[in-house]
C-alpha cells in the first residue's frame, strides 16, 4: 500500500479481525483513520495501541451501533463534520447469533451486516462527495453464494437458521457492493 497521508478512512468493526488489520495498515501509512466501532472503550484501546505503535498516527474513535438507526444517524452526523471522507470501509459484522430483531424490525444479521452499513453509507454520502475520489468498500464473504434474500420478510420470523440469515446478509453485501 502506498502512502495515505492526507486521506481520511472510516473503518467499521475496527476493534478486531480484518477491520483491526485494515486500521493498523492505514495508520502505518499515514492515513487519518476513524474507527467506527460499537464498543467505544475497545475502540479507545485500539486507538491508543495504534498511536503507540505509529507515533503521530491520526486515529480517532467514533461510536456507532449498526443495529440502531439513531446511533447510525448520530455517528454519520459526527463523521460528516469531517472536511471529506475519502474511503468508507464497511467491514463490521456478526455471525451465527440466535434469532432476534432490531427496534426497526430487521433480523440482526441483516441489520448489522448490511442494513446498518447501507444507512451509514447513504448518510455519509455528502462527506464522501467532498473527496476528489471517494470509494466505498463493502466486505462480504463466499457465503453470499448460499444466500437467499426475501425482502418481504426481513425479520426472519419463519424458517430461521443462523447460517441462512448470515448468508442472506452476505448476499445483500455483495449486491450492494456491485
Residues annotated as catalytic are 166
> Does the structure show a pLDDT above 80 at 154?
no
pLDDT given at position 119? 98
Does the pTM exceed 0.85?
yes
d(CA 19, CA 83): 23
Q: What's the gap between Cα 35 and its chain centre?
A: 9
pLDDT, one tens digit per residue, over 93-129 is 999 999 999 999 999 999 999 999 999 999 999 999 9
pLDDT, one tens digit per residue, over 166-177 is 888 888 888 887
pLDDT, one tens digit per residue, over 70-96 is 999 999 999 999 899 999 999 999 999
d(CA 108, CA 155): 8
| pLDDT-derived band at 143, boundaries 50, 70, 90 | low
Is residue 165 within 8 A of residue 156, CB to CB? The reply is: yes
Amino acid at each position: 500500500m502506498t502512502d495515505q497521508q492526507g486521506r481520511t478512512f472510516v473503518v467499521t468493526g475496527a476493534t478486531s479481525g480484518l477491520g483491526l488489520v485494515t486500521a493498523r495498515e492505514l495508520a502505518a501509512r499515514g492515513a487519518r483513520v476513524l474507527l467506527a466501532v460499537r464498543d467505544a472503550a475497545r475502540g479507545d484501546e485500539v486507538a491508543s495501541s495504534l498511536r503507540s505503535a505509529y507515533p503521530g498516527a491520526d486515529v480517532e474513535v467514533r461510536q456507532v451501533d449498526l443495529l440502531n438507526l439513531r446511533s447510525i444517524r448520530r455517528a454519520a452526523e459526527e463523521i460528516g463534520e469531517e472536511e471529506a471522507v475519502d474511503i468508507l470501509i464497511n467491514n463490521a459484522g456478526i455471525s451465527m447469533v440466535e434469532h432476534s430483531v432490531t427496534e426497526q424490525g430487521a433480523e440482526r444479521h441483516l441489520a448489522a451486516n448490511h442494513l446498518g452499513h447501507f444507512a451509514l453509507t447513504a448518510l455519509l454520502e455528502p462527506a464522501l462527495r467532498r473527496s476528489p475520489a471517494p470509494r466505498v468498500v463493502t466486505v462480504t464473504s463466499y457465503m453470499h453464494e448460499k444466500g437467499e434474500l426475501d425482502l418481504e420478510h426481513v425479520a426472519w420470523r419463519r424458517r430461521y437458521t443462523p447460517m441462512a440469515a448470515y448468508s442472506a446478509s452476505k448476499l445483500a453485501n455483495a449486491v450492494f457492493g456491485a
